[in-house]
C-alpha cells in the first residue's frame, strides 16, 4: 500500500512537472538523462515514470515493486466448482481472472454471467480448448471468435485478453492475434501443476511459496482439489500483504514502471 501511495504521488508530481505534455518514451528510446543530484528541483524535475511499450505482446508477470498478484483460473466454468470458488472469492473481496472455455460457457452461461457480475475478468481460452499452435490461421480465428462470442452472449462483456490452451502459441501467432483481436497473450509465473497433483495441500503450498510480487498464478477451477486449496492459498497471500488484481489491472499498472537509477 505504501508503494502504491508513493506511485500515486509520483504520478501526480510527474504530471505537474510535464505541464500536460505526454511523455512518449518507449523501450527503444534511451532513458532521459538524469538531473545531477545537486540540481534544485525548482529548475528541473526528473520525469519519474517510464512508459513500457503499449505493444508488449506476452505477459507472464507484471511489475515487481508493487505487492500485487493476479490469480487466474482456467478451463471453467464448472457447474459445482466454479460457484463454490466464486463464494470464496466474494467472501474475501478478491478479484480474479477466469480463462473460460467457450463450449463450457455455452453450457453454463449463468455461471459466466456471475463471474462478470461479481467483478472478475473473463479472458478468451478458445472454444474447444484447442492447441492453437497446431491449427491454421483460419481455424485459430474460428476458435477465438467462438470463444469470444460465447462469453459475450452469456455476459455482455467482451474479453480483452487471451491465454492459449497448454500455453502453446508461436511468437508470430501471438503477434497477429494482438494485431487482429488486440489480445495480449497471458501466460503465468507460477504453475502448481494442479491438474496433475489433485491434492489441495500440495497445490496451496506450491502457490503460496512460489508467489512473488507482480506474479500471475495459474490454477484450474475445473478441479475440486484446486478449489479446496483456495481458502488457504488466498488467506496466506492476503496475510502476506498481497493485493489481488485482475490480469488487465496488472498490465495497466505494469505499463508504468518507476525509473530505477
Please identify every residue annotated as catalytic.
74, 220
Rounded to a whole number of angstroms, the CA Rg of the chain reads 20
- Closer by beta carbon to Ni ion, 222 or else 250: 222
According to the binding rule CB under 5 A, does residue 75 interact with Ni ion?
yes
Question: Cβ 131 to Ni ion, closest distance in Å?
Answer: 10
Q: How far is the CB of 164 from Ni ion (least distance, A)?
A: 8
Q: Is 143 in the site for Ni ion (CB under 5 A)?
A: no
Element (H, E) at 59: strand 58-59
- Region near Ni ion per CB under 5 A, out of 57-65, 76-84, 162-170, 233-241: 162-170
User: Would strands 49-51 and 256-258 be described as parallel, antiparallel, or unpaired?
Assistant: antiparallel
The Cα 49–Cα 38 span in angstroms is 20
CB of 147 or CB of 213, closer to Ni ion: 147
Q: Report the residue closest to Ni ion, judged by CB.
A: 74
Check binding of 221 to Ni ion (CB under 5 A): no
CB-count exposure of residue 14 (10 Å: 0-12, 13-18, 19+): middle
Dihedral sign from CA coordinates of 255, 9, 70, 236 = positive
Total number of residues that touch Ni ion (CB under 5 A): 3
Q: Nearer Cβ to Ni ion, position 67 or 103?
A: 103
Burial profile 233-248: b = 16 or more Cβ within 10 angstroms, e = fewer:
bbebbeeeebbbbbbb
x/- mask, Ni ion, residues 171-210, rule CB under 5 A, reads ----------------------------------------
Which part of the chain contacts Ni ion (CB under 5 A), choosing from 28-36, 47-55, 70-78, 201-209? 70-78
Do residues 255 and 23 make contact, with C-beta atoms less than 8 angstroms apart?
no
Task: Give contact residues for Ni ion (rule: CB under 5 A).
Answer: 74-75, 165
Amino acid at each position: 500500500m505504501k508503494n502504491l501511495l508513493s506511485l500515486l504521488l509520483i504520478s501526480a508530481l510527474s504530471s505537474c512537472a510535464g505541464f500536460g505534455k505526454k511523455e512518449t518514451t518507449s523501450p527503444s528510446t534511451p532513458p532521459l538523462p538524469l538531473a545531477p543530484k545537486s540540481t534544485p528541483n525548482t529548475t528541473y524535475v526528473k520525469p519519474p515514470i517510464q512508459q513500457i511499450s503499449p505493444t508488449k505482446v506476452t505477459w507472464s508477470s507484471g511489475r515487481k515493486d508493487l505487492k500485487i498478484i493476479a490469480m487466474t483460473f482456467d478451463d471453467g466454468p464448472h457447474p459445482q466448482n466454479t460457484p463454490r470458488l466464486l463464494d470464496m472469492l466474494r467472501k474475501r473481496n478478491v478479484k480474479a481472472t477466469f480463462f473460460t472455455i467457450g463450449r463450457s460457457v455455452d453450457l453454463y452461461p449463468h455461471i459466466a454471467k456471475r463471474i462478470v457480475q461479481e467483478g472478475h475478468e473473463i479472458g478468451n481460452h478458445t472454444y474447444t480448448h484447442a492447441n492453437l499452435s497446431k491449427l491454421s490461421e483460419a481455424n485459430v480465428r474460428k476458435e477465438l471468435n467462438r470463444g469470444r462470442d460465447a462469453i459475450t452472449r452469456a455476459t455482455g462483456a467482451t474479453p480483452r485478453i487471451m491465454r492459449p490452451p497448454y500455453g502453446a502459441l508461436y511468437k508470430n501467432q501471438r503477434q497477429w492475434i494482438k494485431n487482429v483481436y488486440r489480445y495480449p497473450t497471458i501466460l503465468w509465473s507460477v504453475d502448481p501443476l494442479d491438474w496433475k497433483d489433485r491434492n489441495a495441500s500440495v497445490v496451496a503450498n506450491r502457490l503460496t511459496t512460489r508467489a512473488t510480487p507482480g506474479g500471475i498464478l495459474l490454477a484450474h477451477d475445473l478441479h475440486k482439489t484446486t478449489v479446496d486449496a483456495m481458502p488457504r492459498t488466498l488467506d496466506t497471500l492476503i496475510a502476506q500483504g498481497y493485493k489481488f488484481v485482475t490480469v488487465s489491472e496488472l498490465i495497466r499498472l505494469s505499463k508504468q514502471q518507476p525509473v530505477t537509477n
